[in-house]
Each structure stands twice: as C-alpha cells, then as structure tokens.
Copies of this chain bind each other. A is one copy, B any other.
C-alpha cells in the first residue's frame, strides 16, 4: 500500500527484456522493436502488497509486467472485494486507463514486481506507425475478455469445489505458460483470502474446500502459497481444459 515501495529504476534496454527470451512470446520486427524502445519510458519496481492502480484514479502510464505476480480487483462501497484476474509476466496493466478517462478497477502487487513503463499519450501513434502492434493490442484485450468469460462461468455456475479446482488449474497453467513456475519458487503466491475473494466464497468455506483438494492429493497448501500436484485431476474436477496456446504478443 505504501507509495514509497514503488520506485523507478534505470532505463534498461529492451534488448535484455526477459520476455523476449521466452519462446511463448512472439518476436518483434526490428522496426517494431525500435519503436517500442522509444515508446518505453522506464522501469518500475513494486514491492509485494503495493497498490499499482486505484479504481477511479487517472493514469498517464501503462505497464507491461516483466516479473512477479499481481491481481486486479473491484470493491463495493461496503468493502466486499472481487478479484477479477491475476497478472503474470507479459501481461499489460492499465490499458483501460489509457483508453478511458479513469481506471475502473484496482491493481495490487502480490509479490515484488518489475514493470516496464509506457506513456499513455503516444499510444495512438502506435496504431498509426505499427498496425501490427495495434492489432496485438486488440488481441491482448480480447484475450482478457476470454479469461473473464471463463471466470464468470465459474463463479456463476460451478460449485465451490469445481471453482477452486478451476482457479488453481488456471493459475498453474498460466504460470507454466509464462515460465514463472520453473524458474521461480514453483508455488502460486496467494493466500486463501485471495482465493475466497476470487471465487466469491467465504474464507472459512474456501479453507474447507481447499482441504478437500489437498487430501485428495491434487495440491498442497503452503504458507501463503499453493503447489499444484496433479493439474489434470484439477482440470477434470473443474470440467475445464486450457485453450491451445499460440505465440502471444506483448507490449
């Protein structure tokens, strides 16, 4: 929450961008790379627990996640919180704030995060000069929509057990796809309170539900984290299968 945990770092070149090394992401043409390098205005470090965006605020920046985990959420006036989606390396943050007047959701860092910073203003020139990148932005927005569709199906129709299984299968799948699990701690860095606020369940019931999954051997709960042991079993319980992955655009 503390603003002082946000700090801007040195202007590292895109050439050493950890995302470009990842085969899950698509390559830029040299011209595109050059444009993005200029578009980019710096790097930001956000400590775990830091607020990156607040609902209702205006923003002159947008970010691409380089490392770390975060989440998007909305709240009701009385404090009820709904987590909308999680943010992993390669994900863009704040596109809504760049297109509309203000953000209508908040973003918080789950772990320490490294973010690539872009100015909001030259966004339109991106569409003018590099139609391919404009296309990518539409692609990115559409992909987020797909994920939200699936979450809505989950919260609206699935039982507590199915929902929990879906969420962890989903996060596990995404972590693998952005190659954060193999390199990093191998566990998903969330608390049961996060799971509860994602699934629309109480913390108590979330705990009992996760316990069931743990005794069935499909996952293991650690302190403030979860390790998925049997992803196919979780997918079967949730009646969910991940979509086929294609080379993702980013930035």
Q: A residues bordering B, Cβ < 8 Å?
A: 72, 74, 76-78, 80-82, 84, 95-96, 99-101, 104-105, 124, 127-128, 131-132, 134-135, 137-139, 141-142, 144-146, 148-153, 155-158, 197-200, 239, 243-244, 246
A135–B123 alpha-carbon span in the complex (Å): 9
- Among A78, A132, A153: residue with most chain B CB under 10 A: A153
A142–B96 alpha-carbon span in the complex (Å): 6
Given A200-B156, A200-B157: A146 and B101 within 8 A (CB)?
A: no
Given A84-B152, A156-B200: A142 and B99 within 8 A (CB)?
A: yes
A155 / chain B contacts, CB cutoff of 8 Å: 152, 155-156, 200
A145-B144 in contact (CB<8A): yes
Give the oligomeric copy count. 2
A74-B153 in contact (CB<8A): yes
- Contact pick for A149, options B74, B127, B150, CB 8 Å: B74
**4 A-B pairs with the lowest CB-CB distances in the bound complex, closest first:** A156-B200, A141-B141, A127-B131, A148-B148
A139 / chain B contacts, CB cutoff of 8 Å: 99
- Contact pick for A138, options B128, B134, B148, B151, CB 8 Å: B134
